[in-house]
Amino acid sequence: MSTAHGSAPQGARARARIEVTAAIKDQARRQLAAEGAAKLSLRAVARELGMVSSALYRYFPSRDDLLTALIIDAYNSLGESAEAARDTFADAGPGHRWVAVCEALRGWALAHPHEYALIHGSPVPGYSAPETTIPAAARVGEVFFGILRDAHRGLGLAKPSLPAELRPEAERMAADFAPDLPPETVAAFVAAWAQLYGLVGFEVFGQFQRVVEDRERFFRHAVCRLAHGVGLVYPQTGPAAAGG
């Protein structure tokens, strides 16, 4: 919007703005952990930062805009860890990579439970995410579709069964999200995706307390079976076993 000659003072000003913005978001994330998204308050953030509440409005026009920024950051952070896992196992088979990405998602969720709740927990009452969150939200899905595409191009993808009554729906989903994949695969993947988040959510939100103890192994086995369900040929053991 302003000039592009990038003189030093303007650069410094812009840098300061970025730093303060980051500090606000960091503090907000801490508050997210303590009080939850529903109670995120600009005033409390300002107080902890030694600022006055009205100053924050120069950075975020409203509480909801701050929330939106946190959501986008969370999706991007989750997406990055999925992409990193994919790239780390770039030479492994698609089944291997599937498990690695699932484990990365679980690891991220366990490390950032409150941000996980923000994007995959119950909705924040009175808040509706704007469309600007969509690209960040799509990153994880793209990682999975990439793995399925690789498998499809190679020879590692079996077609899941699909009842006739579900075929129209599967074809619509495939047309919308991955026209280069078989409809059976896309439908099975969407179901597996939701189920994956059931496994992660139960663990992160404490429903496995006093139920599952060896959660890491339990999870690996479950996502291996999910991989099988979408048609991926998968290794007997997960990627962690390859390292030890």
Which residues would be at the binding site for its own copies (CB under 8 A)? 34-36, 38-39, 117, 120-126, 162-163, 165-166, 168-169, 172-173, 177, 187, 190-191, 193-199, 201-203, 205-208, 211-214, 217-218, 221-222, 225, 229, 236-237
The smaller minimum CB distance to its own copies, of residues 56 and 129, is found at 129
Handedness of CA 182, 151, 105, 138 (dihedral sign): negative
The smaller minimum CB distance to its own copies, of residues 54 and 132, is found at 132
What the block records as the tokens of 81 is 């860890």
Pinpoint the alpha helices (H) of 4-93: 8-35, 42-49, 53-56, 63-88
Residue 48 burial class via C-beta count within 10 angstroms: exposed 0-12, middle 13-18, buried 19 and up: middle
Query: Could you tell me which of 152, 145, 149, 143 has the C-alpha nearest to residue 89?
Result: 143
What is the phi/psi pair of residue 157, to 5°?
-125, 115
Q: Rule CB under 7 A: is residue 41 a binding residue for DNA?
A: yes
Q: Rule CB under 7 A: is residue 47 a binding residue for DNA?
A: yes
- Closest approach, Cβ 88 to DNA, in A, equals 38
The smaller minimum CB distance to DNA, of residues 22 and 211, is found at 22
Distances (CA, A) of 216 to 98, 191, 199, 213: 16, 22, 11, 9
Q: Rule CB under 7 A: is residue 27 a binding residue for DNA?
A: no
Using CB under 7 A as the criterion, what x/- string covers residues 63-82 for binding DNA? xx------------------
What the block records as the tokens of 78 is 């989750």
Q: Which does 148 bind (CB under 5 to 8 A by kind): its own copies, DNA, none?
A: none
Q: Which residues bind DNA (CB under 7 A)?
A: 13, 16-17, 20, 40-44, 47, 50-55, 57-59, 62-64
